[in-house]
Structure 1
Amino acid sequence: MIKTLYGYGLRPDHCYAAGLVSIGLSYTSWAVSRVKKGDSKSQSDRWGIFIGHWAPSFFALGNALRLEELNR
């Protein structure tokens, strides 16, 4: 799968950037949901955590792609 993604042009830097963006998006979604009327504190926390779980996946994928890049 990693070789295929690398072959399609996905590079480690793309995944690292997506990980950083997801951290910012996690904070932003938490903050927006927090101030929005009608959303509870627990709902705000759930949104932030849901999006925050994407970051480690992007970083791991970036590391796998970096290894693929080094092995070529």
Structure 2
Amino acid sequence: MLSKVLFVAGLVSIIASILAWSLASGETAEELAHAERWGIFVGLWAPTFLILSEKLK
């Protein structure tokens, strides 16, 4: 059961990363850079969740 939750969390992380990056609104370069970094940060969760999902099967 936990492996399925982690797998879904990995998929949600990928989607959230794309949304955070593409839907970010900002007028300055700093605001856009922050959105880009946040998207990358959230996207880095996906491999962790997916690996844990596989290990806990």
TM-score class, shorter: 0.7 to 0.9
Could you list the structure 1 runs, at least 4 aligned residues long, displaced by more than 4 angstroms after superposition.
none
SS in 1 for 2:56: helix
What TM-score results when the alignment is normalised by the length of structure 1? 0.66
Which one has a bigger Cα radius of gyration? 1
What TM-score results when the alignment is normalised by the length of structure 2? 0.81
Partner of 1:46: 37
How many residues align? The count is 54
Partner of 1:18: 9
Higher RCO by CA contacts (8 Å cutoff, separation 6 or greater) = 2
Partner of 2:50: 59
* Unaligned stretches of 5+ residues in structure 2: none
Partner of 1:32: 23
CA deviation map 1:9-43 (0-9, x unaligned)? x521111100000000000011121xx13322x22
Identical-pair percentage: 37
